[in-house]
Structure 1
Amino acid sequence: MACFKRTTVILLCLFTLGGCANQRPASHAELTTQEDILLKSKNYSGLISLYRGWLKNKEDSAVRLKLSQYYYQIGDYSSSLLYLQPLATSADPNVPLLQAKNMIAMGDQAQAIRVTDRMLQHDPRSAEAWNLRGIAMALSGKLPESVQAIQKSRDLFIADEVAINNLAMVALLDRRYQDAVSLLLPQYLRGQRQPRLVHNLVLALVKVGDTRYARDIIQSEGLSGYPDEVVDALEQIGPLQKGMA
């Protein structure tokens, strides 16, 4: 169980943040201006303070959703879910999507699957819901169902890099390391350099024994100044756990 929990944390990092607002905005125009400044500096804590200050005086569902999104961004999943609760009956599909993301991050895969199932009852063509359902299935150890869900999200035109990376993660969970390389390497050679894709590719290359290429990627992408140590550490990682029985 403990091993599975540690693996879940690793996989959440692999599957595909400070400051305060100085003055409470008096209008939506001022709110937007302060948002833009904080977003440009990626000051997520400042954005949280900004939105909390606004909601303290006036309820606004759009601002509440943004607040919940940035709590998710900084990894405070319980707070994100807490501030989403008043929006539970909202028709905005972004609300259950964010709920499912938080539940996956907290390790509550069963509840995440229930949320995505409800979403798909309302909109069977939601690529995002199928993708999240696939991730939750994978982390529950239901790998064939996970592949089907992620493939469905791809059929519905979720971004290719999202679907391919998640299919590669399922392959890693299933110890199909060569399949993971076959999925990720063409993307990498076509110029895709998303951190999760690169990290997963390096792990897959190490697992198939191509440590020289893994070291080259670590060096060329600036992942570490100590590529040999990284490769050695990855070689020591045992088979990833599929999930709980």
Structure 2
Amino acid sequence: MASRLGSIRIFILLLTGIVCPLGTFCAQAESPGRVYEIRFDVIEPPVVAQKDITVKAPMSNQQTEPKALECSGLAWIDGVLIIASDRHEHLLFTCPVDLNNMEIGTPEYHVLIHNEQFLLHDAECLTILKKGGQASIYVMCSLSNAPNAQPLPQRRHLFHAKIKSVRPLALDRTNVVSAGTLREQLESCFERIGVLPYYAFNADPGENRNTYRWGNVEGMTFTPDGQTLLGGMRNPLFDNAAMLFAVSGMPETGQSVRPDSLKVADLF
């Protein structure tokens, strides 16, 4: 794992086209609000601190065999990296980083989910929202199908909690809900604009064939006002380009996520 600071080159692509106009293909039109300028950057900074780390943890409460951390999402808060691993379905890792001395600590895992029904299968993105003097953490699964094409419910989970402390990590009001309604709304958008179905090779023994995976949500963050959640998709592609969707109906500070309030408000 490497910590990178500084910048040598920044290539900025200003987003100018909307693939799925608001109110045409997705949710009903809402009153116009502030328009944010979204930029896609490619940054090549020098490596100023690096540490080779292998940390193992149980994959779930039932699968106790330790497996190595496979980083799928990162968020920074108060000198600590919070890390999601798509191999681990019930926990998050924390790793302290001393920016003054550029020293990277050793990640530790924290079990957050004890009920197997609410596991985070293929957790691919993580973000932290600071608003009103409080910090909340969100972790979302990829919404994809399993390699054998099965649409498992655990791959559609969205985790939300209030952060009480970072050292040690302590959360309050933890909440795991289904984000399947977002997948259904995105499917409607895909059909209207002609997005091709996404298939990927299944390497499981005896399969050796491409299977329908639906897609992969692999990044998310909030707009500066904290009102809209932005989700980035690695697949499927539209016109050979990745897609970004905006979600309205996110909860106010201290409230729980309500699946029926989540609306795909725009698709880029």
Larger Rg computed on CA atoms: 1
Per the TM superposition, whether the score is higher than 0.5 is no
TM-score normalised by the chain length of structure 2:
0.24
Decide which structure has greater strand share.
2
Please, what TM-score do these two structures have when normalized by structure 1?
A: 0.25
